[in-house]
Amino acid sequence: MKITVFKNYGYCWGVKRAVDIAVKELNDLESAYILGPIIHNPNTNDKLKKDGLKIVSSLAEVPDGSVFFFPSHGISKIDEELAVKKSLRTISLICPFVIKIEQLAIDYEKKGYKVIIYGDPLHTEVKSMVSRLNNAQVIKDEEGVKSLELHPKMLYISQSTQNRDVFYSIFSRLAAAFEWRELVGRFTICQDTFERQDWMATHIADFEFFIIVGGHQSSNTKKLVEIADLHKKKSVHIEKWNPSVWDMVKGLNNIAVISGTSTNKEDVDEVVNEIKGRLTQDGNNAGIYYA
């Protein structure tokens, strides 16, 4: 069996940065709080919980004066202000790319543009952006274009981990709806997310089966699953190695392994090694390639 692994696997630079800061800070602290998971990777969150990270669902659960991490994809303005009121010592784990998108939107708004965001209205990153803008409109897909309120000048951007094909498709619909108005589109899907989607879409026909490794709540991992579904390609989405995957791939000749931006290298290596081990046990060859 030939097993091809997308070569840029492991954490993206924004996630790596967030985890490195958290690990370093927790070394010197008894505990620190964070609103929601640090990243959408249950395995990493569990490890950090053992080091003293306490994941809460509301700031009301954080004792005054505690250490508080801002999660990697942002925090709403209300919660940021509440953290100040509660005298929390805050440490930002927010990805610089997320901050850059937010600043871009704020700058355009100051120039008189209304902002359209393609993203999940319930995702932290989108909630954070919306909380810092006046009347930003969020759409989840192409259908959302119909319900938009149009203004003479509009900026179209995206949550950093959305689907690049849907981004372009929304943009062409907007362009058609925007005759006689000014529409600026800025591609704000981050490079790490884009590269994974691009590789998968380009090579979709090259493999019999895709193993997609990443958190079930991870936005960018879910986009990889969408690509497989769109192309009716057989695939499985797992958070880490699961023996049932062997039943799905044994007997196949050519499979691919790809992971989300918050999946660590060890989880991907484990999947590859488990399959390789079973092939060897059965007297079969395993060729591992990184492409």
Residues with a catalytic annotation lie at 125
d(CA 166, CA 226): 11
Tell me which of 188, 261, 263, 264 binds ligand SF4, using CB under 6 A: 261
Tell me which of 80, 192, 239, 267 binds ligand SF4, using CB under 6 A: 192
Contact positions with ligand SF4 (CB under 6 A) in 107-166: 160-161
* Closer of 95 and 213 to ligand SF4 (Cβ): 95
Strand order in the sheet with 182-185: 137-139, 114-118, 153-158, 182-185
The site for ligand SF4, by CB under 6 A, has a size of: 15
| Closest residue by Cα to residue 219 from 7, 5, 12, 4 | 12
Q: Which residues contact 69 (CB under 8 A, 6 or more apart)?
A: 22, 25, 32, 33, 34, 38, 53, 90, 91, 92, 93
* Closer of 79 and 102 to ligand SF4 (Cβ): 102
38 binds ligand SF4 per the rule CB under 6 A: no
Tell me which of 95, 138, 249, 271 binds ligand SF4, using CB under 6 A: 95
275, 246 in Cβ contact below 8 A?
yes
260, 239 in Cβ contact below 8 A?
no
* Closer of 161 and 235 to ligand SF4 (Cβ): 161
User: By Cβ distance, which residue is nearest to ligand SF4?
Assistant: 14
Q: Look at strands 209-213 and 182-185 and give their pairing.
A: unpaired
220 binds ligand SF4 per the rule CB under 6 A: yes
12 binds ligand SF4 per the rule CB under 6 A: yes
Q: Binding residues for ligand SF4, per CB under 6 A?
A: 12-15, 72, 95, 97-98, 160-161, 190, 192-193, 220, 261
